[in-house]
Amino acid sequence: MVSSNPISVLTFLTLLFFLSPSSSAVPTAEICQSTTSPPFCNFFLPNSPASVHSHCRFTLHHALVHARTFLSLVNAHLNLFPSLSPLHDCRSLAEANLDFLSQTFSIVNSTTTTLLPYYDAHEKLTLMSAVITNEDTCYEGLASLDSAVGLVDKVLEAISFDKKLYSLYLSLFKMGWVSKDLKAPTLPKMKHFGVGKGQLKLKMSPKDRAYYERLVHRNKPPGARRLLQTNYQDDGIVINGIVGVDQNGTYDFTNITAAIAAAPNKTTVAKGYFLIFVAAGIYNETVLIPKEKRYVLLIGEGNNQTIITGNKNVVDGSTTFNSATVAVEGTGFLGVNLTISNTAGAAKHQAVALRVSADNATLYNCIFEGYQDTLYTHSLRQFYRECDIYGTVDFIFGNAAVVLQNCNIYARLPLSGQFNALTAQGRTDPNQNTGTSIHNCTIKATPELAASPATKSYLGRPWKQYSRTVYMQSFIDSFIDPAGWKEWDGTMNLNTSYYAEFNNSGPGSDTSQRVSWAVGVINATVANSFTVSQFLAGDRWLPPTNVPYTGGLIS
């Protein structure tokens, strides 16, 4: 890590800039022309010929210094204003940014060649994309508080500068280490299957298997229907540790939060998943899977059987980021057979059921219920399979690289005078590898909305400048307005957003009257870039979950 001493920092940066491996030197202005902000690039980088790799190295080390300084600034403000909830969000986000930037250090500092395999480049782009998203989230939370006017100006100023710095770093990294035709390896067309909807194959020790069977069958009278069926096979998901949760005191824990605390810290997928079995019941608690709790498998007895519920919301004082009933920050999280609900209601506006800020996160056979902002696909890489999502305004939103596959998306009846937007994607930098891909899903209205034909519903609207959403091979029902997409605020973000459709079906899929500013219909080659294998690099991290997925387009 970079020393906090200014003299040693300067010496360290200078040595790295001139002595680390580099490619050919070119004028700084020439490199800056290809960045997102040439004026900032020319202002920030040394005005002497150097390679893109040297400039990127220089930028990374300044980024690490700024990330440390920003975290200290947030902590200082928290000491002065401990009741400002957005500052607590900012501290968590700042800690994550320092971690993400550090994870890119070894590659940037010691190599000058295009990253191979593909998966390494994709992972680093994902981390850098999340750094920018975290800056945006912190800024939004602080800027939305009228009571904080004047109190956090230094924090807001720091975010504005740091975001430009992180954007420059991402630009330079893509120039120096990422192939322009970055694609996942060509693999045979395939599907990975589990043993049935909501079921998994598990690989565990005889001791863990015996205990798991006791958990699943406990408290069930002879002949009672078993809600959860599980197969045990050598090619199943590797399990390393099991605990049970129920509300009757007969399992290990009576609440989910306590069970998560029992999970090991910073484990790896090779060591296996820590399985938390949650018996049927309604769990009224706010659940956080923190970043140190990696590869947690949270499995319920069945969606609509194991229900996690809460009602935090913006109207009552929460930030959107912190309103989630369940928030996931631990890498490799796998959630199966759960219902996650925010019951605040439409009148409370932003009220998140599930927020995911975790890489390689998977949700399978789950239900997410809310109104505005139900599912917050905040950042990093996420996959949802055979899930049901209910909501009204912007109810699938965020800036992750996310694929929803074989899901049911249900628009509900909003407040009087409101319209529905199914998605609100939040990409703010053209180099971020983020977006929302909706693949082989069913898009329908709930009966209440279907009975209110005057209420308008749209596929999405451009929340941020480079908002990107694609619907592919999905059924779209007639409740979707023929225009398809809705503007956010006048012409804002219309010319830079990316809204596309490919080979959809149903009465709402007719594109003849779509808005002129949408990308429109794309071909199979372009659509393939938004599939699980390409968009998420899913062939690297999804097979160990044992969750079924289709890697490419459906033929």
Residues annotated as catalytic (active site), given as ranges = 394
- Best CA proximity match to 349, nearest among 324, 326, 316, 322: 316
List of residues 6+ apart from 244 with CB closer than 8 A: 215, 218, 251, 252, 253, 259, 276, 277, 278, 279
Tokens at 523, concatenated: 């071909």
Q: Which residue has the tokens 């995911």?
A: 356
164: number of CA atoms within 13 Å, CB side? Answer: 15
Q: What are phi and psi of 279, to 5 degrees?
A: -65, 160
CB 368 within 8 A of CB 326: no
Q: Give Dmax (Cα) for the chain.
A: 79
Which helix (H) or strand (E) segment holds residue 168: the answer is helix 153-177
Rounded CA separation 162/156 (Å):
10
List of residues 6+ apart from 345 with CB closer than 8 A: 351, 371
Q: Which residue has the tokens 């809204």?
A: 499
Can you give the three-state secondary structure of 230-256, one letter per residue? CEECCCCEEEEEEEEECCCCCCCECCH
Beta-sheet pairing, 420-425 with 393-398: parallel
Distances (CA, A) of 154 to 3, 70, 142, 236: 23, 10, 11, 51
Q: What are phi and psi of 60, to 5 degrees?
A: -60, -45
Rounded CA separation 432/129 (Å):
5
Which helix (H) or strand (E) segment holds residue 469: the answer is strand 468-472
List of residues 6+ apart from 550 with CB closer than 8 A: 191, 405, 439, 440, 531, 532
Buried b (16+ CB within 10 A) or exposed e, 171-204: bbbbbbbbeeebebeeeeeeebebbeebbbbbbb
